[in-house]
Amino acid sequence: MATGNRYTGLIGKYADRLPLSSDAAPISLGEGNTPLIRLDNLVRDIGKDVELYVKYEGLNPTGSFKDRGMTVAVTQAVAEGSQAIICASTGNTSASAAAYAARAGIKAFVLIPDGKIAMGKLAQAIMHGAEVLQIHGNFDDGMRIVKEMAETAPVSLVNSVNPYRLQGQKTAAFEICEALGRAPDYHCLPVGNAGNITAYWMGYSEMALKPGEAGTQACKFCEGDCQFHQAAVASRPVMVGYQASGAAPFLRGHPVEKPETIATAIRIGAPQSWDQALAASRESSGWFDEFDDEAILETQWLLTSREGIFCEPASAVSVAGAIADIRSGKIAEGSTVVCTLTGHGLKDPGVAERYADAAVSTLAAESSAVKEAILGKMR
């Protein structure tokens, strides 16, 4: 019997904050516990006095934040005796569902939009043995169909309309409060189906002191030196949601019929958690904004080339937004800002093609040629 301190994932860590019965056997891949990285280079470039962090969710087991929700949703589905799960997906949900279903020994059916998901995500769904159903339609069409399937076929729906998904995803807010010792002033994230912004707001709200409660709370759950349970925080952040211009229903004020963006993860026109996301925005005095594909890719490049962090295009919109709002002063100097980088850049390696001509030199296999290239590039 090992006696170490092995991290066993969200359910192991946050059991008392998750609505799972204690006899549900956790289906986990050690998700969560992702780094909160400070962006010193970009902040220096902006020249403003802010603390800017990214929560790098690309370091979850399948490379996106979806794993936080999937561990809880699949654990619950299995506890209920389910033999199969289903989801519609722009890619990351299907990759995560496929992996957790494999681990649980159940079937995963994933509906993906015709030709519009990133190669890495499709590879994951295939390699984990999911049944991949590509529909002649977009994510919103898929969502409509899987909701019907959950009513009429023996499958559990694991999109974020499943409340266990958001319960799992709220733990990212707990981790941020633990890491900072407080809640940030602003939390910025990409918005697609609007589940994650809803989940973070739930998490921050659960961490916050209730009216009338004084100071940091003593642990209600355990006697030890448990950092998490003592980390009740005084305030909640302003929630800021950013969308791709071609898929920005929150900016239009209504669903978008034919969403289009290079950030395929957030190519969503009819967000399922519409009301909850609006409530989070309103209650936190937050806002929504939009950025076009060019701005998204430019920010992705800034993160890779200036900070060493490779996120997928959809994730970069959170930093594009934060930078714009810090520059304009909408996010005030002196603030602590956290952006969620929702997925890993390796999910969508195709975006690197546009830089390859400039980055890749082809040479003779000779020391002299390589040396010449080195000296040339150092100039």
Integer Cα distance of 304 and 264 in angstroms: 19
Integer Cα distance of 24 and 118 in angstroms: 34
Q: How far is the CB of 301 from ligand AN7 (least distance, A)?
A: 17
The one-letter code for the residue type at 41 is N
The residue among 184 and 192 lying less far from ligand AN7, judged by its C-beta, is: 192
The residue among 29 and 231 lying less far from ligand AN7, judged by its C-beta, is: 29
Is 315 a binding residue for ligand AN7 by CB under 6 A? The answer is yes
Is 92 a binding residue for ligand AN7 by CB under 6 A? The answer is yes
Question: Which of 26, 113, 195, 321 is in the footprint of ligand AN7 by CB under 6 A?
Answer: 195
Please list every residue from 44 through 83 that binds ligand AN7, using CB under 6 A. Answer: 64
Is 167 a binding residue for ligand AN7 by CB under 6 A? The answer is no
Integer Cα distance of 94 and 124 in angstroms: 8
Integer Cα distance of 176 and 33 in angstroms: 10
Integer Cα distance of 270 and 276 in angstroms: 13
Closest CA to 312 of 97, 119, 34: 119
Beta strands in the chain (DSSP E): 36-38, 51-56, 84-88, 107-113, 131-135, 156-157, 186-190, 238-244, 287-291, 336-341
Question: Which of 138, 167, 284, 342 is in the footprint of ligand AN7 by CB under 6 A?
Answer: 342
Is 269 a binding residue for ligand AN7 by CB under 6 A? The answer is no
Question: Which of 54, 70, 238, 266 is in the footprint of ligand AN7 by CB under 6 A?
Answer: 266
| Residue 262, SS3 per DSSP | coil
Integer Cα distance of 75 and 107 in angstroms: 14
The residue among 39 and 314 lying less far from ligand AN7, judged by its C-beta, is: 314
Please list every residue from 223 through 262 that binds ligand AN7, using CB under 6 A. Answer: none
The residue among 157 and 266 lying less far from ligand AN7, judged by its C-beta, is: 266
The one segment of 192-200, 206-214, 220-228, 230-238 that binds ligand AN7 by CB under 6 A: 192-200
The one segment of 126-134, 150-158, 186-194, 326-334 that binds ligand AN7 by CB under 6 A: 186-194
Q: How far is the CB of 332 from ligand AN7 (least distance, A)?
A: 26
The residue among 122 and 266 lying less far from ligand AN7, judged by its C-beta, is: 266
Integer Cα distance of 165 and 169 in angstroms: 6
Q: How far is the CB of 277 from ligand AN7 (least distance, A)?
A: 8
Question: Which of 9, 32, 113, 190 is in the footprint of ligand AN7 by CB under 6 A?
Answer: 190
The one-letter code for the residue type at 121 is K
- Residues linked to residue 52 through DSSP beta bridges, in sequence order: 337
Is 196 a binding residue for ligand AN7 by CB under 6 A? The answer is yes
Residues making up the chain, counted from first to last: 379
The one-letter code for the residue type at 255 is P
Summarize as ranges the residues that interact with ligand AN7 (CB under 6 A). Answer: 64, 89-93, 160, 190-196, 265-266, 312, 314-315, 342-343
